[in-house]
Amino acid sequence: MSHLSPILRQATPVVAVRGEGVHLFDAAGRRYLDFTAGVGVTSTGHCHPRVVAATQRQAATLVHGQYTTVLHEPLLALTERLGEVLPAGLDTLFYVSSGSEAVEAALRLARHATGRQNVIVFDGSFHGRTMGAAALTTAGTRFRAGIGPLMPGVAVAPFPYAFRLGMTGEQAVEHALAGLDHVFATTSAPEETAAMFVEPVLGEGGYVPAPAGFLDGLRERADRHGVLLVLDEVQSGFGRTGEFWAFQHHLRGVPDILVTAKGLASGFPLSAIAAPAELMARARPGSQGGTYGGNAVSCAAALATLDVIRDEGLVPHAAEQGRRLLAGLREVAAGAPGLADVRGLGLMVGTEFCGPDGSPDPVAAQRVQQAAADLGLLLLTCGTHGNVVRMMPALVVTAEQIDEAVALWSEAVRVTVA
């Protein structure tokens, strides 16, 4: 008898047999409101009929057309279509399968293109579990401890986490940018720094949107020092925050490299980096490739995802439903002192739990998350201390489903910590 690794931590006891929209169903037919979306992946909902039809068609036509052996139509079509949603100038794509692999690709490209070694990341970052990406990850020691030595050349600057810093957004930005300048002055000389990697909304690190001004500050320093600005939009991209890319809320310019995955293909494994052609061409020949990158069925899923996002107006819809969710969760938190901060951007909303002295309270967060699961609302925790409960439903979520989730959340809070 063989078993699943006991190290996989299960957030809920549910064994899913079917998914439809924002719902999952178990073998007994019990329905769960899924506000995890497979960690922000099923952007168009579980088994959107257009994604299902497109992938069924593709699976019956060509499953695997390995992209350094042959090209295939879905890959070429997707590359063209992504041009409609990518920021100006980022017109060249390289595909892999997971977020971590795409981060690795961005890292290789940044080092090749600049001839520099160092990378600056921001406190609380999550960029993946592969060894290079883990070296860029500072969301918690659980992602790093015991696997070292990790890749050297990574410096950590502060992220403008206003709530934790006890500051306004503006003060937090000033603090973080001063910290970044300090890193350039003390730890990673500009001429040795290849890139800054940043999530426009900290994901695993606690669902913290970067306040206005931060990304502009990074862009300015990137230009001044000839350092590449790499935005990891693996979790925040593809409409989730109510703009197609989260950086579009604030940044006046564009990144040098954009990393995307998760919502891109509605649940099929696909990720990509986008960069200007001239930059991408500076990657060394042979440094890009892979067996599964740009899988034909995944590309078909991504094409259907783009169609659904456009035809159903899901980006403005995510903005509107996100506002509704944020308002509902703020109302719940107003009556419960342990729910210390509610924040988010679009459909990426978190509630941070703290004790009376302001210290992180992961126990309360996990109790409420479990109680919500018992009530039929699936949620995940995040944050360095595991004391943030995050909600990230599929972009197709309706106002009624938001209200149902807020009511279940309110009940979960009432029966546990209120």
**Cβ proximity to ligand PMP, 199 vs 341, nearer residue:** 199
Contact region with ligand PMP (CB under 6 A), list: 20-28, 124-132, 302-310, 394-402: 124-132
- C-alpha angle 55/56/61, rounded to 5°? 90
Handedness of CA 87, 39, 61, 305 (dihedral sign): negative
Q: Are 234 and 306 in contact (CB under 8 A)?
A: no
φ, ψ of residue 382 to 5 degrees: the values are -160, -170
Rounded-to-integer distance, Cα 340 and Cα 383, Å: 14
Q: Can you point out the beta strands (E) in 99-256?
A: 118-122, 154-157, 193-198, 201-202, 208-209, 228-232
Helices (H), 187-247: 214-225
Q: What are the contacts of 182-189 at 24+ separation with CB within 8 A? A: 182/157, 183/120, 183/155, 183/156, 183/157, 184/120, 184/221, 184/225, 187/155, 188/118, 188/120, 188/153, 188/155, 189/118
**Token pair of 77 as six digits:** 């079509």
Rounded-to-integer distance, Cα 308 and Cα 74, Å: 16
Contact region with ligand PMP (CB under 6 A), list: 120-128, 163-171, 245-253, 396-404: 120-128
Establish if 98 lies at the interface with ligand PMP (CB under 6 A): yes
Establish if 128 lies at the interface with ligand PMP (CB under 6 A): yes
CB of 123 to ligand PMP, least distance (A): 14
Using CB under 6 A as the binding criterion, the count of chain residues that bind ligand PMP stands at 15
CB of 203 to ligand PMP, least distance (A): 4
Residues 39, 155, 375, 415: which binds ligand PMP (CB under 6 A)?
39
Q: Which residue's beta carbon is nearest to the bound ligand PMP?
A: 99
Residues 135, 180, 210, 234: which binds ligand PMP (CB under 6 A)?
234
Residues 21, 74, 160, 203: which binds ligand PMP (CB under 6 A)?
203
Contact region with ligand PMP (CB under 6 A), list: 94-102, 247-255, 324-332, 360-368: 94-102
Binding mask 260-279 for ligand PMP (x = CB under 6 A): -x------------------
Q: Within a 10 A sphere around the Cβ of 301, how many other Cβ atoms?
A: 28
Contact region with ligand PMP (CB under 6 A), list: 22-30, 45-53, 92-100, 142-150: 92-100
Residues 34, 204, 256, 341: which binds ligand PMP (CB under 6 A)?
204
- State the distance between the two ends of the chain, measured CA to CA, in whole angstroms: 44
Residues 90, 103, 345, 368: which binds ligand PMP (CB under 6 A)?
103
Contact region with ligand PMP (CB under 6 A), list: 67-75, 104-112, 125-133, 144-152: 125-133
Contact region with ligand PMP (CB under 6 A), list: 6-14, 96-104, 248-256, 287-295: 96-104
Give bridge partners of residue 350 from the DSSP assignment.
343, 390
Establish if 255 lies at the interface with ligand PMP (CB under 6 A): no
Establish if 131 lies at the interface with ligand PMP (CB under 6 A): no
Handedness of CA 267, 95, 120, 244 (dihedral sign): negative
Establish if 123 lies at the interface with ligand PMP (CB under 6 A): no
Residues 46, 72, 127, 343: which binds ligand PMP (CB under 6 A)?
127
**Cβ proximity to ligand PMP, 389 vs 412, nearer residue:** 389
Q: Are 196 and 232 in contact (CB under 8 A)?
A: no
User: What contacts 44, CB < 8 A, 6 or more positions away?
Assistant: 50, 51, 266, 304, 305, 308, 309, 314, 394, 395, 396
Per DSSP bridges, beta strands 118-122 and 154-157 are parallel
Establish if 215 lies at the interface with ligand PMP (CB under 6 A): no
Q: Are 43 and 321 in contact (CB under 8 A)?
A: no
CB of 132 to ligand PMP, least distance (A): 12
Establish if 99 lies at the interface with ligand PMP (CB under 6 A): yes
The site for ligand PMP (CB under 6 A) is made up of 39, 98-100, 103, 126-128, 199, 203-204, 232, 234-235, 261
